Copies of this chain bind each other. A is one copy, B any other.
């Protein structure tokens, strides 16, 4: 049986476009002789639809799309994800389903059993878990159709009390099909492959895996659709970060040697972020970006990514020196714009800053220069960036990194502004890594930007190291606390200075109010700030 794997990019709630795309691919696959085509989880609505699922109208539109698609299933069977209403009198009102369409109608509706409700996932918010297990016989083969997490109930200490494949294996399947909405992070390739391999080996069955590609606000889907044989070998791998229609014939053996390898960490982060920017703009109907270019590494890397994603002609930088800006900052910033041939404006904040100082003088009197004055500079810059954005229709790109977002080293309504945080899931040390990577083929970021010590330049001769530990140390502590959710005592036991650990974790916890108002962050790690990390603002834990 020839099976088509449709690894596609959907737009949440855009039913006409999503349905048309699905039908186009059904026809394409059919014309190439496929007998079955597999689309990702909740393809019809886009993933994650979140609380749109609460609207009957939204569910009806999903159903109508399914009926339209079914019209094209005479010569080919279609497996496609969409929600379905719960027909039982008890339980949540929907299930997350794989619809099996053939001969012009809905033949089967397979419901998801394991509902991820952790990190960025909220599926039990919407869906009732499945309790009926059966395989679908099609063209003489028994298909065990599963939905994403359904294959993840494994391990020594599984977070689910049941494992769907243990039920399905009783029905003698010939093949596992898994339709997924599994977002990218830089560790995900391996984790995902290990899960699929373990399933293939445990049940002695080949696995066909079809995932989304494309970005949905902060979530980036890398695709990575593949076929694993029953020994656990990848025998077909669709390209990462691209829309593709792949084919696999159950009768022929593909050659594992030809399989595309996983991109390494920084390379994949690079691809993910470029896709993340592109999709954010395209799906919102915008073309042009603006950002504040300080001469530091964060805004330089953001600019390079934006230019790659949107084209140099669509990216404007504002260079906004103040009295505390060093000459080299402005020079470095200009040099970068010249290298990449992108528009920049040098807009001094001097007059604006003076107007604030004069206006505030009667109240601040002779009080010493402090955080208030530092923040005025960052906020004056944000007002200018937003004025350009409002006047000319740019989206402002935020340039904060994860280290500073973690410890609150940033100005709310200042440099924390923006429609999208591009590198907010990269620690400072990773931003440098990415900067060096971007320079590998051709120097796009002037060397001096990479080599000079980081500074916010909000007061004379300021360096980040005045108030923060060395990033190499800080980032490791943060990684342990944020990604690995390690206890303070453990982190200290691993050799980090006790006071430094306590101070750092305290800073992370008291900065929650800032992150609450930060832009959505393109997620590239297993634990990004945003929907996947929910911490109370008002609390007193490690504080």
Q: Which A residues have a C-beta under 8 Å from some C-beta of B?
A: 11-14, 17, 46, 48-52, 54-58, 88-93, 117-118, 122, 124-125, 128, 156-161, 215-217, 279-280, 283-284, 345, 347-349, 351-352, 354-356, 358-360, 363-364, 367, 370-373, 375-376, 379-380, 382-384, 386-388, 390-391, 412-413, 417, 419, 485, 487-489, 513, 516-520, 531, 533-543
Which residue of B is nearest A358, CB measured? B351
Known: A14-B540, A122-B122, A379-B383. A487 touches B56 (CB 8 A): yes
In whole angstroms, what is the CA distance A372 to B535 when docked?
Answer: 35
A13 and B541 contact, CB distance less than 8 A: yes
A354 and B355 contact, CB distance less than 8 A: yes
In whole angstroms, what is the CA distance A417 to B516 when docked?
Answer: 12
Which residue of B is nearest A540, CB measured? B14
Instruction: Tell me which residues across on chain B come within 8 A of A17, comparing CB atoms.
Output: 540
In the assembly, how many copies of this chain are there?
2
In whole angstroms, what is the CA distance A88 to B513 when docked?
Answer: 36
What are 15 A-B pairs at a CB distance below 8 A? A11-B538, A14-B539, A14-B541, A51-B533, A91-B159, A215-B538, A217-B538, A345-B363, A347-B359, A351-B359, A356-B383, A379-B413, A383-B413, A386-B412, A520-B537
Known: A157-B89, A345-B363. A372 touches B352 (CB 8 A): no
Which residue of B is nearest A60, CB measured? B487
Which residue of B is nearest A419, CB measured? B513
In whole angstroms, what is the CA distance A518 to B517 when docked?
Answer: 6
Instruction: Tell me which residues across on chain B come within 8 A of A161, comparing CB atoms.
Output: 88, 90-91, 128
A92 and B375 contact, CB distance less than 8 A: no
Instruction: Tell me which residues across on chain B come within 8 A of A534, comparing CB atoms.
Output: 50-51, 122, 125, 531
Instruction: Tell me which residues across on chain B come within 8 A of A419, comparing CB atoms.
Output: 513
Which of these, B158, B413, B487, B540, contacts A386 with CB under 8 Å?
A: B413
A49-B536, A375-B390, A531-B534 are known contacts; what are 4 more A-B pairs with Cβ within 8 Å?
Answer: A88-B161, A279-B538, A356-B387, A373-B387
In whole angstroms, what is the CA distance A77 to B54 when docked?
Answer: 43
Which residue of B is nearest A543, CB measured? B13
CB distance from A463 to the nearest CB of B (A): 21
B351 and A538 contact, CB distance less than 8 A: no
Which of these, B283, B347, B359, B370, contacts A390 with CB under 8 Å?
A: B370
In whole angstroms, what is the CA distance A387 to B363 when docked?
Answer: 10
Instruction: Tell me which residues across on chain B come within 8 A of A531, comparing CB atoms.
Output: 534
